[in-house]
């Protein structure tokens, strides 16, 4: 086969990303290792908060805190598992032996994590509403906040997870390194969510500012990821 043919057939980064994402979703559908565990964790946590706080309704900052902390820790479960197959079954090598950009792996893993988080939230937010909310008026807008928070979680989580993948202390490393990096996401998402979950109905004061902060964070970490990812994959 001529070298020209090899280079001509090199898949686009987007094509490689779609292939890796499709593979990850197929494995998740077959094994159900991440999303069910995240959902079960979230539901259990809501029960604990319900009885731990001894409150039948939550609103404002407390409601936002309970929901976002639950989503964050559920995300850690998926982030820890993102690269398990790549590490244990030679996926890193298999992908790196193909003529594709490392950013395709980064993008695919981030997309998979966003999909897992969206699936989690489709289950967890209604459950949260049933457990704690008097009014559901702010819930549709809350999904917008959660999507931006998910993008931030994914952009940062994939980076840290891939760094930790080859470490023996990876289960410790991910939360220890990731949680401080996600403080801005939690502050911004919490700032927006507490308005949307305010007692008596949603308020939209200042929400746009927090969404702008979330968007800036997402873009920054996405850019950092694409800039450094090929180097992270090196030995």
Chain residues in the site for other proteins (CB under 8 A): 1, 3, 6-7, 9-11, 15-16, 18-20, 23, 26-27, 30-31, 85, 89-91, 93-100, 234-235
Shortest Å, Cβ 83 to other proteins: 13
Kindly tell me which of 50 and 96 has the beta carbon lying closer to other proteins.
96
Q: How far is CA 210 from CA 88, 157, 180, in A?
A: 39, 21, 19
Shortest Å, Cβ 76 to other proteins: 22
Kindly tell me which of 80 and 195 has the beta carbon lying closer to other proteins.
80
Kindly tell me which of 221 and 229 has the beta carbon lying closer to other proteins.
229
Kindly tell me which of 7 and 54 has the beta carbon lying closer to other proteins.
7
Distance of CA 202 to the CA centre of its chain: 25
Shortest Å, Cβ 30 to other proteins: 5
Kindly tell me which of 16 and 185 has the beta carbon lying closer to other proteins.
16
Shortest Å, Cβ 184 to other proteins: 34
Tokens standing for 146?
């959660």
Q: Name, in order, each residue with C-beta under 8 angstroms of 53's C-beta and a sequence gap of 6 or more.
A: 62, 66
Shortest Å, Cβ 11 to other proteins: 4
Shortest Å, Cβ 167 to other proteins: 15
Kindly tell me which of 165 and 193 has the beta carbon lying closer to other proteins.
165
């Amino acid at each position: 086969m001529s070298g020209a043919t090899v280079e001509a057939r090199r898949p686009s980064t987007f094509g490689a990303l779609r292939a890796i994402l499709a593979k990850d979703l197929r494995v998740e559908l077959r094994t159900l290792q991440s999303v069910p565990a995240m959902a079960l964790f979230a539901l259990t946590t809501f029960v604990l908060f319900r009885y731990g706080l001894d409150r039948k309704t939550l609103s404002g900052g407390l409601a936002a805190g309970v929901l976002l902390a639950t989503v964050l820790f559920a995300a850690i479960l998926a982030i820890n598992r993102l690269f398990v197959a790549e590490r244990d079954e030679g996926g890193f090598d298999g992908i790196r032996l193909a003529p594709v950009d490392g950013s395709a792996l980064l993008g695919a893993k981030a997309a998979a994590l966003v999909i897992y988080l969206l699936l989690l939230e489709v289950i967890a937010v209604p459950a949260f509403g049933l457990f704690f909310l008097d009014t559901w008026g702010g819930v549709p807008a809350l999904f917008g906040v959660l999507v931006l928070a998910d993008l931030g979680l994914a952009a940062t989580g994939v980076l840290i997870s891939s760094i930790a993948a080859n470490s023996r202390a990876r289960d410790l490393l991910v939360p220890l390194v990731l949680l401080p990096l996600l403080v801005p996401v939690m502050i911004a998402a919490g700032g927006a969510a507490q308005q949307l979950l305010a007692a008596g109905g949603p308020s939209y004061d200042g929400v746009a500012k927090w969404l702008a902060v979330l968007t800036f964070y997402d873009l920054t970490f996405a850019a950092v990821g694409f800039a450094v990812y090929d180097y992270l994959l090196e030995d």
